[in-house]
Structures are given as structure tokens and as C-alpha cells.
Amino acid sequence: MVLDLLFIGLVITLYPLPIAAFVVVVSAPLGLRKGLAFILAWLTCLVAVIAIVLLLTDGQPPPPRSPTSTSVLVVKLALGLGLIVYSERKRRQRRRTAAHNSAADEKPVASKSPKSSRMDNITVWSAASLAVLLQPWGMVGVAATTVVTADLAHAQSFLALLAFCVLATSSLLTMELYMVFAPQRAQQALADLRAWLERHKEQAIVVTCLVLGLWTVGRSLYELTA
């Protein structure tokens, strides 16, 4: 369980959609306050999912080969396959978009200032709502199926769950703290990151979903057949 949760947390923290949104939020006026709201809402979702799973299992993993454990593995396998399918759809969509952009190379690039202006006017509550909407729920679902095996009788499970929450939030926390302690350098670094994400976001989505999907499918099949 520990290795699985750490790996899932790492993939979640590298998932580009919430990172891209957080960069815009924290760069807006009162960005630190809005970024904090984003992070708190993000963490609340993770903790809520873990709490619900632990309440359902009463903090004890189901017996191996039981109907419950088998059902959880089947759900986990389905989520992994879903991530692979989503990754492939995004890859094909990216190829079609790239082909379209190549055909329209001579057209002027539309200005993105109106979108930036709208994001500048985002409220604290809107930033929190955005964190909930952009939570990679498929990946969080994979984490939930892994939390089912947590045994609260052992301190190792508590540490693993805590490490998962921190790791899954680490990219957001790093940007927030960077803005606190080095705001001028952070603004430039975040601007560079935003520009990079605009060019490579789709690729990053494909890679993160595919990697976690393959990992989840492999682990599920192994546990179902072992």
C-alpha cells in the first residue's frame, strides 16, 4: 500500500491541469490568499475521500480473496483502464489539434488577455471551487481503492496516508511558499512555468494518465491473479 500511495501522490502532484490553474490563481491580485484557499480545498477533498473509505472499512482491510477485496480490485482495474483510454483520447485529440494548427499557421494568434483579466477577478471562494473541480478524480479514485487496504492498527498506515496527502499537494505548496518568501523571483518563475504548460500541457496529461493507468492495471491484474 505504501509504495502505491506514494506513486499515486507523485503522479497527482505532477498532473498539469491543477498546476496551470494554480499558477494563474496565485499570480492574480491577492494571489497568496486565493492560492491558500485553493490548497485548503484541494486537501479537504483528499482528506474527505480517505475518511469516507476508512469509515466504510472501519480501518481494517478486507480479507484477501473475499468478495469485497475482489470487487475493490475490479474497480481499481476499471479505473486504470479508464486512465489509459483517456490518455489515448487526449493523444489523438492533440494530434488533430497539432494538424489543425499547422494548417492555420499563417493566422494571427488570438490575444489571451481577456481570459487573464477574468482570472484576475476570481474570488477566494471561486479559487476553492476551482480546486474541487480540477481535482483529478480518476486518480483520486485509484488512491481510494488503495486506501481500502489501510490497517489503522499500524502506525505505518497513518504515515502512508499523511505522506500521500502531502506529496499530492507538494507542487501547490511549493509554489505558494515560493510566492511567500521570494515573490519577485516567483512571479518570473511562474510566468515561465505557465508558458511551458501552454506548450506542453496536453503532452503532460497524456504521460501522467498513461503511466498511472499502466501501473494501476498491472498492480490490479497481479493481485487478482496472485
Q: What is the mean pLDDT of residues 174-180?
A: 94
119 inside domain: yes
Closest CA to 126 of 47, 17, 20, 33: 33
**Amino acid identity for residue 103 in this structure:** A
Stretch 17-25: mean pLDDT: 94
Total structural domains in the chain? 1
Cβ–Cβ contacts within 10 Å for residue 35, how many? Answer: 26
Band of pLDDT at residue 73, cut at 50, 70 and 90 = very high
pLDDT value at 150 more than 90: no
Does residue 117 register a pLDDT over 60?
Answer: no
Asked whether residue 148 is domain-assigned, the answer is yes
In a domain, 152, yes or no: yes
| 167 is a domain residue | yes
pLDDT band at 30 (very low <50, low <70, confident <90, very high): confident
Question: Is residue 110 assigned to a domain?
Answer: no
pLDDT in the model for residue 210: 96
What is the residue whose three cell numbers read 484477501? 64
Residue 105 lies in a domain: no
- Tell me what pLDDT residue 155 has: 85
Q: Is residue 13 part of a domain?
A: yes
The most distant pair of C-alpha atoms in the chain lies apart, rounded to whole Å, by 64
Domain coverage including residue 135: 2-99+115-225
Burial environment of residue 143 by CB neighbours within 10 A (0 to 12, 13 to 18, 19 or more): buried
Does some domain include residue 128? yes
